[in-house]
Amino acid sequence: MGEPHAIGIIGLGVISAQYLETLGSHPAVRIAATADLDSERARAVADRYPGCRALSVDELVGDSAVQTVLNLTIPSAHADVALRALAAGRDVFGEKPLAATWEDATAVMARAGDSWVGCAPDTVLGTGVQTARAAVDAGAIGRPLSAVATWVSSGHEAWHPNPDFYYREGGGPLLDMGPYYLTTLFHLLGPVARVTGASSRPRSTRTIASGPRAGEEIPVEIDTHVTGILEHVGGAVSTVTFSFDAITTQAAPIEVHGESGTLVVPDPNLFEGVVHVRRERGGDAEPVADRAGYENAGRGIGILDRIATGSGAPTDGAIALHVLEVMTALGTSARDGVRVELTTRPDRPSVVPFTPESVWRSA
């Protein structure tokens, strides 16, 4: 094994703990630098890792010792941080979405050059989604014809102490949760050719329910219920719903319907879960044994996959750009009442081979 791959982390909010759980003690990587608007928070994390330094954003992206910048900032800052890192010749792996707007996302990809741009969700590398993908490819449900994806909640203000950004451009249920479901549908059914969408915004304000700001009202600047129809290049049609305006649902996260069966896909916000197949009306759901993907993976596995394979194809920025185009096209369709043709059409990567936890954690 060569020298550990040096990672600099920008943005040390809630999600960073999950990345550090995966990457912090992995022998293939070294947490080399941290940066955050809260310098004390950056310093506190840096102190946990030998040789790690708390720096400013400019210092971190300019540090030649940093090979990959892990961009965990809020969505509105994704593009700015990525562009600065790419300008300095760094690889970048960012939280979803790739950027808050289509224009910013295309600017990031255009600036990549010889650098790699990767983007969450890397949950698609787990055994849940990859086993589902392997089952579809093996013909477990025959030719896939359609899919249904559903995610609903009453809104993140119920638990997040500072939920403002969820209700601004770059947030909302579509850009916040949509990437998990739409990226999974891409891996299962391939790219999308065109979309039709509808959306609504039933409330103009939300009330924070927890933390020091509890009881404070915040403005809602984006639509909070989005539904759409995706026409995949391969012929399948997906129906999707993402909402901050519902209490709960009994719907499966994702179902894929084929000519000879239905595949039930586990929560794409998680790395694992049991895939089920129903092959006859009224028949029992048959569990599918894990057969692909990283076992017991966590956030950050996308970077480890890039280091191990040299490609990072399953979380490549081209996929994230396509998913963002799907989401922005749904917004355009909802606003203008039109069917929108997409311009991006990335290749669907190969199935990720089954990799036991003991293997990837020690690789």
**Residue 236, by phi and psi: left (phi above 0), alpha (psi -120 to 50) or beta?**
beta
How confident is the prediction for the chain on average, in pLDDT? 96
Percent of the chain having pLDDT more than 70? Answer: 100
| Per-residue model confidence (pLDDT) at position 13 | 92
pLDDT tens readout for residues 221-265: 999 999 999 999 999 999 999 999 999 999 999 999 999 999 999
Predicted pLDDT at 284: 83
Say if CB 81 and CB 95 are below 8 A apart: no
pTM of the model: 0.96
Taking alpha carbons only, the member of 94, 272, 95, 96 closest to residue 182 is 96
Secondary structure letter of residue 126 according to DSSP: B
pLDDT in tens, 176-233: 999 999 999 999 999 999 999 999 999 999 999 999 999 999 999 999 999 999 999 9
Round to whole Å and give the CA distance between 279 and 261: 4
Domains annotated for the chain, with CATH where assigned, are 5-119 (3.40.50.720), 123-294+317-341 (3.30.360.10)
Which residues does 182 contact at the CB level (< 8 Å), separation at least 6? 149, 230, 240, 323, 326, 327
Measured at the CA of 312, the angle between CA 83 and CA 361, to 5 degrees, comes to 115
Q: How far apart are CA 144 and CA 147, in angstroms?
A: 8
Distance CA 292, CA 132 (A): 8
Q: Which pLDDT score, from 0 to 100, does residue 223 have? A: 96
d(CA 40, CA 17): 16
Across residues 261-275, what is the average pLDDT?
97
More confident residue, 285 or 182: 182
